[in-house]
Chains A and B, each alone.
Chain A
Amino acid sequence: MDLLADAIRQAFGLLFSGDPYLWRIIGRSLQVSSSAVLLGLLVGIPLGTWLGLARFPGRGVAVALVNTGLALPPVVVGLFVYILLSRQGPLGALGWLYTPSAMVAAQFVLAAPYVAAITLAAVQSVPPELRLQARALGAGRWQALLLHLREARLSLMAAVAAGFGAVISEVGAVMMVGGNVQGETRVITTAIVLETRRGRFATAMALGLILLAIAFAANAFITRIQQAAPRRRRPLTS
């Protein structure tokens, strides 16, 4: 118990001391995960929108595949991306292995299904007649689609938060493809593993607290959106 209390006390000391080692790791984590989520949004939002609104043979299978993506084990994704980027792999020529780009690629594979699945649910929660009403007021198909996404925007923001929360806290994939190189590919989760092994519990705890704070902020954002949603669906009265 003393060890834990001591570690927490030292962790706060480290956080407020402006330790460059610590803040470089935090900065790299935010950079890698933000880039992965951004790419996940670029792919996941159009994919989720398409799956949510289009009707085509095999749509059910496609939706099931996206939902399966939510349960992808990070180490399996890490292995898959490692093979792709290894010297003998199809993308080996890129030379990305053990660089932040490889970590972004792995986290993108993890984030995109979250974004797509939440986008799918979000666009389906908006009544389809809303687009029809927009078109009945002279809007083109794209204008009506943009309106539909705008109506789902709070849920889409939840997709951002969920995607970010999924990747910022994973360790398996980034460890495998990033290699945990100091100053290059060391991120919060891989640093926690390393510092714990070294017995530097205060540093590991400081990083853990930062990770918890980031995860808490992402979840608080989702909760706020979820609590705001019922106000919109209140029953009509005259």
Chain B
Amino acid sequence: MAGARHEPLLEGRELRHSYDGRLVVDVESIEVRAGEVLALLGPNGAGKSTLMRLLAALETPDAGRVIYIGREVAKDDRRLRRAAAAVLQPPYLWRGTVAQNVEFGLKARRLPANERRARIGAALETLEIAGLRDAPADGLSAGERQRVALARALALQPEILFLDEPTADLDVTVRRRLLADLERVVRHAAPAIVLITHDPGEAFALADRVAVMEQGRIVQTGTPGDIFEAPATEFVASFTGAEFMLNGIVETAEEGTMMVRLDSGQVVEAAGDCEAGAAVRVGYRPEDVVIAPPASPATSARNRFDARLARLHPQGGLVRLRLESDGLSLEAVITRHSLEELSLEVGARVVAQIKVTALHVFPV
């Protein structure tokens, strides 16, 4: 999002942490670079929040080290804790007014009263809640509470800002507005941000880099483009939207492309380097399946299937299609507009096309 610089500000090395004998974080290496937005993306229970707490020196790892600007972080490290701020989930506000909440961290840092006043005013303005300054915190809506929690952290002008699921529990409209404001705020303040989220869309929209977590481990780190285009594992592919998998065997493999015979009998061409004869799973995103009328001219997509439309499932502005092609079932997503333009209805014949690079192959 912001122009990321590349020196590591915060690093975690060989971090292990357990709760009640269950290993919840097992991370070889992670780094947060100055000015970047790093998203920790994963399902519930993947260890994201625990990793965040270890990196923020809010908990001490069972093993491993956290390094802040080249120096190992000690237990309750004040240097890091004064440079960082975190917004936990849910946003815990305490009794008192909005201004008193925002003032808390400033008082903890023993800033003079005039500076505290100025920072409170600026933070509330930035989050567009200046009108709530003297409102009691326990009377706020969920969206307002989240904004106050963000203002409370931003007022500290942190070098690293940890945001744990900042849009959880918000309805769609409030969430959309908060995300837009968050992006603006981050551009303006430009701290390094560690964003915890289970929403790939949120991670891809806000982050410069994404670390995908599964069962306490980081299974892939890269730019949103890297993660989206080349998911490293079936889990990453599935979690980031390529949730449909086809089983097959690699027939030939050369120069980064493979011919894979699917269990349904069709042969598809896909990018990757599995060996010939290997059993694989082929994943695709339904939005990468292009639908065209029958006998339409060939395109650059090498994988073409003559198919019958078996089912239509409207989803707001989009429509999910189930296609059947000689024993192969495919899912596709098109807009309502495209559906009308193609005059599609159940039973219609279509051509389904998928690019070589849109198929993600994983060894079984």
Binding site for B on A (CB under 8 A): 127, 129-130, 132-141, 143, 147, 150-151, 231-232, 234, 236-238
B162 neighbours in A (Cβ, 8 Å): 136
Given contacts A129-B88, A238-B143, A238-B171, contact A137 B94 (CB under 8 A): no
Query: In the complex, are the beta carbons of A135 and B156 less than 8 A apart?
Result: no
A147 neighbours in B (Cβ, 8 Å): 94, 104
Query: In the complex, are the beta carbons of B105 and A139 less than 8 A apart?
Result: yes
Give Cα distance in the complex from A232 to B76, angstroms: 31
Give Cα distance in the complex from A236 to B169, angstroms: 9
- Within 8 Å of chain A (Cβ to Cβ): is B174? yes
Given contacts A151-B94, A151-B95, A238-B170, contact A138 B81 (CB under 8 A): yes
Query: In the complex, are the beta carbons of A130 and B104 less than 8 A apart?
Result: no
Query: In the complex, are the beta carbons of B170 and A129 less than 8 A apart?
Result: no
Query: In the complex, are the beta carbons of A232 and B95 less than 8 A apart?
Result: yes
A164 to chain B, nearest CB (A): 24
Query: In the complex, are the beta carbons of B104 and A132 less than 8 A apart?
Result: no
Query: In the complex, are the beta carbons of B109 and A138 less than 8 A apart?
Result: yes
- Within 8 Å of chain A (Cβ to Cβ): is B10? no
Number of B interface residues in the complex (CB < 8 A):
33
B355 neighbours in A (Cβ, 8 Å): none
Query: In the complex, are the beta carbons of B108 and A139 less than 8 A apart?
Result: yes
- Chain B interface mostly: mixed
Give Cα distance in the complex from A237 to B82, angstroms: 32
Give Cα distance in the complex from A134 to B86, angstroms: 9
Give Cα distance in the complex from A236 to B148, angstroms: 14
B51 to chain A, nearest CB (A): 14
Per a CB cutoff under 8 Å, which of A139, A232, A236 touches B141? A236
> Whose C-beta in chain A lies nearest to the C-beta of B92?
A133
Query: In the complex, are the beta carbons of B141 and A238 less than 8 A apart?
Result: yes
Interface centre among B82, B87, B92, by most chain A C-beta atoms within 10 angstroms, is B92
Give Cα distance in the complex from A143 to B82, angstroms: 14
Per a CB cutoff under 8 Å, which of B81, B90, B171 touches A135? B81
Given contact pairs A137-B105, A238-B141, a sample of 17 additional A-B residue pairs in the complex whose CB atoms are under 8 Å apart? A130-B94, A132-B58, A134-B108, A136-B84, A136-B85, A136-B87, A137-B104, A137-B108, A138-B105, A138-B108, A139-B104, A139-B105, A150-B95, A236-B90, A236-B145, A237-B142, A238-B174
Binding site for A on B (CB under 8 A): 53, 56, 58, 76, 78, 81-82, 84-88, 90, 92, 94-95, 104-105, 108-109, 138, 141-143, 145, 152-153, 156, 162, 169-171, 174
A170 to chain B, nearest CB (A): 34
Pairs A–B under 8 Å by Cβ, sample size 25: A133-B86, A134-B108, A135-B81, A136-B58, A136-B81, A136-B84, A136-B87, A137-B105, A137-B156, A138-B82, A138-B85, A138-B105, A138-B156, A139-B104, A139-B105, A140-B76, A141-B76, A143-B108, A231-B138, A232-B95, A232-B138, A236-B90, A238-B142, A238-B169, A238-B174
Per a CB cutoff under 8 Å, which of B78, B88, B94, B143 touches A136? B88
Instruction: Tally inter-chain residue pairs, CB-CB below 8 A.
Output: 71
B92 neighbours in A (Cβ, 8 Å): 127, 129-130, 133
Give Cα distance in the complex from A139 to B109, angstroms: 8
Give Cα distance in the complex from A140 to B105, angstroms: 10
- Chain A interface mostly: helix
Query: In the complex, are the beta carbons of A135 and B58 less than 8 A apart?
Result: yes
B87 to chain A, nearest CB (A): 8
Given contacts A127-B92, A129-B88, A130-B92, contact A137 B143 (CB under 8 A): no
> Whose C-beta in chain B lies nearest to the C-beta of A235?
B142
B53 neighbours in A (Cβ, 8 Å): 132
> Whose C-beta in chain A lies nearest to the C-beta of B59?
A132
Query: In the complex, are the beta carbons of B94 and A150 less than 8 A apart?
Result: yes
Given contacts A139-B105, A147-B104, contact A236 B142 (CB under 8 A): yes
A150 to chain B, nearest CB (A): 7
Question: Which 5 A-B residue pairings sit nearest by Cβ, starting from the closest?
Answer: A137-B105, A136-B86, A238-B142, A133-B92, A139-B108
Give Cα distance in the complex from A158 to B41, angstroms: 45
> Whose C-beta in chain A lies nearest to the C-beta of B162?
A136
A134 neighbours in B (Cβ, 8 Å): 104, 108
A234 neighbours in B (Cβ, 8 Å): 138
